[in-house]
Structure 1
Amino acid sequence: MKGQYATDQGRVRNHNEDAGGIFKNNYNQYLSIVADGMGGHQAGDVASQMATSIIEEKWQETDQISKPEEAEMWLKATIEQVNKEIYEKSIKEESCKGMGTTVVTVIHTQDFVTVAHIGDSRCYLKNEAGFSQITEDHSLVNELVRSGQISNEDAEHHPRKNVLLKALGTEEVIYPDIQTVTWETDNMILLCSDGLSNKVSDSELQSFITGDESLVDKVQGLIALANERGGEDNISLVIVHHELLMEEGEKSC
């Protein structure tokens, strides 16, 4: 496996509330994460950094994961703990009142990936069947689309497009969506915040992902495209390519 993480402030925001990375445990297993913070006076970055750092710390301490059930249990317990810590900080500190963050995180093994998410940061999978989004946004517009009240086209321009129905740290108890999918050589995973997915179509994401460029060029090209189209939001993404070995020059945490 090899992977690349990148984040960019964008062209409008005065600071970056996204966080993320690719992290290794003691058994050379990898976990990737993207978190998009919101709320409070510059507290979104506090929430996203808390989520990322707590998950990273716990991942580096974890035992080897060999079964999907183990990965799912680990992600559920870890995200619930992160939610508790962010929620408690938001209650205790006035400057952090109302803060929260999306999170999408993936455990990568040689045979499967396990994905957990809350909010509208996304996970896409490229495999022999094609390229597709495998997470469901926890957003108002996605629920309107799912219930048939608006079309996908309407959703792109809906005035409440950014309204989330779930975010990490905003409620005392919250449960992530978790799934496991088969993961084979030459498959790829893309994680991203909505600063990318709101500016770049799925077909364009697929074109970048399946191109011949290096992972560094892929992530930087996608960030540049989102910025060319306005860059109103922070932009963060992870690409992980299933290869036999992780090349240190390609990994960025």
Structure 2
Amino acid sequence: MEYATRYDVGDRKRASGINEDSVAVSVFEEGHRSGLRAGDDAGESDPGGVRGGARVDADRGAARGAGAGDAYDGSEAGAPENRSAFAFALADGAGGHDAGDVASYLATTRALEELSPVAARAARSDPGPFGIDVNDAVLPDEPDAASLEAAVEEAVVAAHREVVGYAAESGTAAYTTLVAGVCVGGRCHYGWVGDSRAYLVNAARDRIELLTKDHAVVEELRDRGEVDDVAAHVHPRGNEITRALGGTGDADPETATVPVDTETAPVYAEDVLFVTSDGLIDAQTDAPVLYDRYVESGHDEEVAASVREAVVTDAELRDYVLRTDSLADAAEDLIDLANERGGKDNLSLLLARDPGLPSTPDDRPLRRALEPELLEDRATVILREE
């Protein structure tokens, strides 16, 4: 598989700010027999990545595994003898609270501590792609989607308790968003709390799909029909989330819990999993001005078009991912885009793909998105219950 991560404090905070985002990735790269080759000529050029073993390129932030650039078409001849499973977590510490950076670090590291063995066990349970008869071997049972979603939920709750425990011991408020998951066997099982997001960008369909739904005030307003999609991009309350990990230390770290939304989505060779904090899509520093202009115009279409040009849209995210073969270059370009649009908040993102998966089916719609349009929110503020 291939992945790239990027972090940036954001142009507006570069002089004195701190990046409160965290990203963690754990890759289980399994190779067997001769491995999956790019073509008939073992010595042919390889523009897509390194084969024969995983590597990490510290300068570019990319990791590429054996078989990168080869799509498994489901036929016996193309069956992969290298395959990947991975776990991921991305968190955005709540700005304005005492320990957002600590909260995001604790959340991502604890989530990966829980999910990394889940990914490895899930891959190990299925030796079928290698054509191995293991009837007499003792292997873990192959997990279903429900059990993997449950594992993700448990990992997120464990991360929540870790942050609550820190808040209780330190006497400081500590909040963070979290989106985390396990991708194995052509499925991504994921969960989230807050407004950090996950998407799938599919090159075969030229499509971006939002996999998560913000736990945010603007999302609730849109659900009630009180704002349209354009207003949601630049709403003044776009920085307010309604759910987060952590707290002020009042809860018991042993029993504290948080509602976690979970889903499972199929993933194909042409997909890029795209996980990001809201700083990437919330770069616009003039959002309240744009909102007032749009509302005062009576939702005029020309003003709506100017709003779309000023913010980072879902179409731009898709185009930036698809216009280059290098995930590292795409990640770098996306950071630059956000900073060009204002760089209002911390930025973090993860791009990952597994070209060894089956190809995108051409006989049915994908239908993986939870929402047809993206929302654009801003720096995180926690709304506490009264």
Q: What code does the residue aligned with 2:342 have?
A: G
Q: How many pairs does the alignment contain?
A: 243
Q: Which amino acid aligns with 2:23?
A: G
Kindly provide the amino acid, as one letter, of the partner of residue 55 in structure 1: A
Q: Which amino acid aligns with 1:206?
A: R
TM norm structure 2: 0.59
Mapped to 2, the partners of 1:120 and 1:206 lie a distance apart of 19
Q: Which residue of 1 aligns with 2:112?
A: 56
Q: Is the 8 A contact 2:272 2:351 kept in 1?
A: yes
Mean alpha-carbon deviation: is it higher for 195-204 or for 164-173? 164-173
| Pair 39,227 (structure 1): closer, same or farther in 2 beyond 3 Å | closer
Pick 1 or 2: higher relative contact order, CA cutoff 8 A, min separation 6. Answer: 1
On the 8 A contact 1:123/1:134 being kept in 2, the answer is yes
Partner secondary structure for residue 201 of structure 2: strand
- 1:134-213 equivalence runs, <5 A: 134-170=211-247, 172-199=256-283, 200-213=312-325
Say which of 14, 21, 25 aligns to 1:22.
Answer: 25
What is the distance in 2 between the residues matched to 1:68 and 1:60?
16
2: CA distance between counterparts of 1:114 and 1:36?
Answer: 20
Q: Deviations over 1:164-192 (max 9, x none)?
A: 00011137321211000111211111000
Contact 1:189 1:239 in 2 (8 A): yes
Using the TM superposition, give the Cα deviation of residue 42 of structure 1 relative to its aligned residue in structure 2, in angstroms: 4.6
After TM superposition, the structure 1 stretch with the greater mean CA deviation from structure 2, 156-165 or 58-67, is 58-67
Are 1:4 and 1:22, in contact at CA under 8 Å, matched by a contact in 2?
no
Q: Distance in 2 between matches of 1:132 and 1:26?
A: 26
User: Between Structure 1 and Structure 2, which shows a larger proportion of helix residues?
Assistant: 1
Match of 1:115 in 2: 190
Distance in 2 of aligned mates of 1:221 and 1:80: 34
Alignment-derived partner of residue 125 in structure 1: 200
Say if 1:139 and 1:163, in contact at 8 Å, map to a contact too: yes
SS in 1 for 2:333: helix
Following superposition, the deviation at residue 40 of structure 1 comes to: 6.3
Identity of aligned residues (%): 31
The unaligned stretches of length 5 or more in structure 2 are 31-83, 123-142, 284-311, 358-386
Change (3 A) 1:26 1:90: farther
Q: Which amino acid aligns with 2:267?
A: W
User: Match for 1:207: what amino acid?
Assistant: D
**Stretch moving more, 55-64 or 140-149:** 55-64
Equivalent residue, structure 2, for 1:101: 176
1:221 is aligned, of 333, 358, 365, to 333
Question: Aligned residue for 1:90?
Answer: 167
- Contact 1:29 / 1:64 at 8 angstroms: preserved in 2? no
CA distance in 2, matches of 1:156, 1:187: 25
- Pairwise CA RMSD of aligned residues? 2.0
- Aligned match for 2:345, one of 233, 243, 247: 233
Distance 1:112 1:207 in 2: 24
Mapped to 1, the partners of 2:263 and 2:97 lie a distance apart of: 34
Letter in 2 for 1:109: V
State TM-score, norm by structure 1: 0.89
Residues 24, 59 of structure 1: 8 Å contact kept: no
Gaps of 5+ in 1: 246-253
Q: Residues 26, 228 of structure 1: CA spacing in aligned structure 2 closer, same or farther, 3 A cutoff?
A: closer
Q: Say whether 1:32 aligns with 2:79.
A: no
Distance 2:217 2:97 in 1: 24
Alpha carbons 1:35, 1:102 under 8 Å: kept = yes
Instruction: Tell me the residue number matched to 2:102.
Output: 46
Deviation at 1:229, TM superposition (A): 1.5
